[in-house]
Amino acid sequence: MRSRDGGRGRVDMTRATGAGLLVLAGLMLASGADAQTASSVEPPVAYVVKPGDTLIGLASRYMNRTGDYRAVQKANRVAQPTRLRPGSQLNIDPNLLKSTPIAASLSAFTGPVIIETNGQRTPARVGMPLSEGQVVSTGPGAFATFELEDASRVTLPSNTRVRISKLRQVLINNAPQRVFQLDQGKSTISATPTQTPGARFEVRTPVSVSAVRGTEFRVGASGDGAQTEVLKGAVGVDAGQVASGAPPVAAGFGVSASAGGVGAPVVLLPGPKMGPGGQTQSDAIVRFTVEPVQGAAAYRLLLARDAGFVDIFAEARTQTTSRERPTADFSQLENGTYFVRLTAIDPGGLEGFPSDYSFDRDLNTLDAGAPADSREGKHRKFLFRWSAAGDGVRNYRFQLFSDAEAKVAVVDQPGLTEPQLTLTDLPPGSYSWRVAAVRFKDGAVTEKVGTLQQLQIGK
């Protein structure tokens, strides 16, 4: 398998025998022809010989062509293809073996998402089947999630391109082979583990984020570097072609890798807390503040329609240069219940633990404009107007004060059904005014008071 970037990065996930952890191996950061050759190497499929097995019999049942037994005989130095010792092991080139496809389908997406099949580009649709050789691409502000029949899941943020290189189950050992090539961007992968010997879940990628049930981790890479962050379980990281057996990175730590090797583990930052007011969003702009985390250089926020963050639809990254609460804004969000995920990023680029919150979006705004001044004969009229947005029925209360501190009311008119009021022949002077809205929605009554406005009337 040749990576599009010349083999800069490969994340190879294989289950360690008896170890109960997922091994992240072969994070390759070489360049040029050597890297291309190394990244094309696929591990052989191990088969334990059973009584009565022959190479010719195995070839007829499990190989693409009966004559392929000769390649297996040569690779394993078998003297007689009709005589195999039970209990011995054959290492077989996976490209020789028959397989059946593993089903996958697009379960959620937002924004411009394209499925490419043999050069033909098709807009995504929920439920669309996916298979080997297809490419899933997300545009700016787009997100996509597809799921495999074994409940594994791949989630892609915006500006990402991932190729489904292998999605099959080998018949000789019923081992699933799930291989993805991430050409650009990022991904979050939840791979269902299996106890089947020879099962394989591999991500070949310059930048990737991967997770497995019981083991959760992220992988990202850009340029000549790569990073791994372990949230649960343990993950082995190597800067070579295969796993070297180095001690795995434990949960709560992250490492950076380069062509020179893998750095020492670094403690991941804790999940940030949401600032005040974030769980009830009624203003025109949905705004979140984040309580500062010591050691953070930036924060990432994801919005999703579900608590599992399958249906992600927006993201933001905010920098922090002081002890003030970082702020992130989102617009054009319909009423409903949503979820936000907060993570802190350290100066080295390692992303820490997530904090997830639900929040309610219930648009309820009240805005006032400057009054319009007009004359009709000897009379001078002032038209006060305001606007409200959001579901429900409203009536309004208008107040005009003869002082800037709103202590002495000269007009106090409740029960208005229209968002305007005309006053005639106001004496010259300094005034202040405001409007309040009483909203009736779903059997609940809420009041929103607008900001105090100033008005100067001259002679």
Question: pLDDT value at position 260?
Answer: 76
Question: pLDDT value at position 223?
Answer: 64
Question: pLDDT value at position 323?
Answer: 65
State the Rg of the chain over Cα. 31
Distance from C-alpha of 330 to C-alpha of 150, rounded to nearest angstrom: 35
Residue 429's contacts (CB-CB under 8 Å, 6 or more residues apart) are 402, 456, 457
Q: Let me know the angle formed at the C-alpha of 153 by 207 and 245, rounded to the nearest 5 degrees.
A: 55
Q: Let me know the angle formed at the C-alpha of 349 by 232 and 263, rounded to the nearest 5 degrees.
A: 70
DSSP string, 129-193: EE-TT-EEEE-TT-EEEEEETTS-EEEE-SSEEEEEEEEEEETTTTEEEEEEEEEES--EEEEPP
Averaged in consecutive runs of 10 residues, what is the pLDDT profile of the chain (459 residues)?
Answer: 34 34 34 34 86 95 95 94 94 94 96 95 96 95 93 87 92 89 77 76 50 61 74 71 62 84 92 92 94 94 94 90 82 93 94 95 94 89 95 96 89 96 93 96 93 89
Distance from C-alpha of 226 to C-alpha of 116, rounded to nearest angstrom: 27
Question: pLDDT value at position 294?
Answer: 93
Distance from C-alpha of 251 to C-alpha of 174, rounded to nearest angstrom: 31
Residue 52's contacts (CB-CB under 8 Å, 6 or more residues apart) are none
- Which residue from 237, 259, 206 is spatially nearest to 30, judged by alpha carbons? 259
Residue showing tokens 């005040």:
276
Q: Which domains does the chain have, with CATH numbers?
A: 11-44+93-267 (no CATH), 280-361 (2.60.40.1220), 365-457 (2.60.40.10)
Residue showing tokens 């305001």:
386
